[in-house]
């Protein structure tokens, strides 16, 4: 059944004059383009095909003044467009960091966005995301306070956050289903992100939501090529169940390198750690002595959590798990830095530039970038 015809429209005019008026000034690039990485050959009755390839778009500033590339990895049901603009037509985090001298690589994970999908080669897809799900979880959670206590604090979505509003429709148009087999999705991503790092060298990874495991898998697969991970509300907490599968290895559904070695997830002895903060939940950690994650050590990690997302209840579980396993991890709660009212898709919200500045400041504190022209 279909509803009445209603064409989607942009949230603001997009003619040349409008864009010039809204511009922050020329974005001067030395290079911009795309390439593919990862993937593997499969033989179908029709012949050989490629599956699991990842789309990568690069933006290299003319004024290249930061030492490490920044790789941006989108969340579940999304695509790299999450970093290329906001629903109300403002510049995205890709622009913000390019303007500060970062080379930026924006990916579409296998089977999402511009990375092709076909069930014969990637497997079954999960159900599509409904407008009601996005409204409740992303754009107007304050109207559903029964879901989690912090929902009432959400204020930063541009517009009312309802289907039919131009900002919501722009957000909804990019939403798509993910692979139904979470383990296979993580194995595909592991191969693709390793190929990307082999191509561009040591990098900082900025991940979001269901893209969070990409960071842990990248470090596990190419430990010498990850300089830092900024994990914005990553999938979790450890060992949680999702619609596509369980994070059976703690942080991922694909194997991680533990020391002493763990041959299977069942080798990991667990206990439930009670919450230390009001409004949060108990999360799984390892029983002591905890196995270490040696390939996630030796570089700084930030877990970034907003004030009004459902993830504010359990991101501490990911922090605890990483810390217990020997990682250098810090929890950046936005409200503790005076940044209020954000939900899960903080890079799309009204104060997205303020959050980008906080992330840049954190990288500068860790000696990984220079801060200029905030």
What does the block give as tokens for 136?
């409740």
> What single DSSP character describes residue 163?
B
Q: Is the peptide bond before 260 cis (omega within 30 degrees of 0)?
A: yes
Residues belonging to the active site: 209
Q: Which residues pair with 343 in a beta bridge?
A: none
How many residues can be counted in the chain? 374
Tokens 């194995």 appear where? 187
Q: Measure the CA–CA gap between 148 and 50, rounded to whole angstroms.
A: 42
Q: Which of 239, 240, 328, 330 has the alpha carbon at shortest distance from 286?
A: 239
Q: State how far the Cα of 188 lies from the Cα of 155, in Å rounded to an integer.
A: 36
Task: State yes or no: cis peptide before 237, omega within 30 of 0.
Answer: yes
For 261, other C-beta atoms within 10 Å of its C-beta total 8
150, 308 contact by CB (below 8 A): yes
Residues 6+ apart with CB under 8 A from 310: 137, 141, 147, 148, 150, 151, 344
Residue 252: HSE in the Cβ half-sphere, 13 Å Cα cutoff: 27
């Amino acid at each position: 059944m279909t509803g009445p015809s209603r064409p989607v429209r942009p949230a603001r005019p997009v003619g040349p004059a409008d864009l010039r008026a809204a511009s922050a000034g020329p974005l001067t690039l030395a290079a911009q383009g795309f390439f593919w990485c990862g993937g593997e050959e499969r033989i179908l009755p029709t012949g050989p095909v490629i599956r699991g390839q990842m789309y990568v778009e690069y933006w290299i500033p003319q004024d290249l003044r930061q030492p490490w590339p920044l790789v941006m990895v989108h969340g579940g049901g999304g695509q790299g467009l999450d970093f290329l603009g906001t629903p109300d037509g403002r510049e995205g985090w890709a622009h913000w960091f390019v303007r500060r001298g970062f080379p930026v690589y924006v990916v579409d994970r296998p089977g999402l966005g511009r990375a092709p999908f076909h069930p014969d080669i990637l497997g079954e897809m999960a159900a599509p995301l409904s407008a009601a799900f996005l409204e409740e979880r992303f754009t107007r959670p304050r109207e559903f306070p029964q879901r989690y206590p912090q929902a009432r604090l959400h204020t930063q979505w541009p517009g009312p956050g309802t289907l039919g509003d131009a900002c919501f429709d722009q957000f909804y148009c990019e939403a798509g289903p993910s692979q139904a087999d979470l383990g296979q999705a993580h194995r595909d991503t592991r191969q693709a992100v390793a190929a990307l790092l082999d191509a561009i060298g040591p990098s900082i990874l900025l991940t979001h939501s269901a893209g969070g495991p990409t960071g842990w898998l990248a470090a596990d697969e190419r430990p010498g090529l990850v300089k830092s991970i900024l994990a914005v509300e990553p999938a979790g907490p450890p060992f949680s169940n999702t619609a596509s599968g369980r994070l059976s290895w703690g942080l991922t559904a694909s194997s991680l390198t533990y020391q002493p070695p763990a041959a299977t997830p069942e080798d990991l002895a667990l206990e439930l750690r009670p919450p230390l903060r009001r409004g949060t939940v108990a999360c799984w950690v390892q029983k002591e002595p905890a196995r270490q994650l040696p390939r996630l050590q030796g570089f700084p990690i930030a877990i970034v959590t907003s004030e009004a997302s459902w993830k504010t209840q359990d991101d501490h579980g990911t922090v605890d798990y990483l810390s217990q396993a020997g990682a250098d991890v810090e929890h950046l709660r936005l409200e503790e830095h005076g940044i209020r009212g954000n939900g899960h898709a903080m890079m799309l919200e009204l104060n997205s530039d303020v959050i980008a500045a906080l992330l840049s400041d954190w990288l500068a504190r860790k000696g990984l970038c220079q801060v200029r022209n905030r």
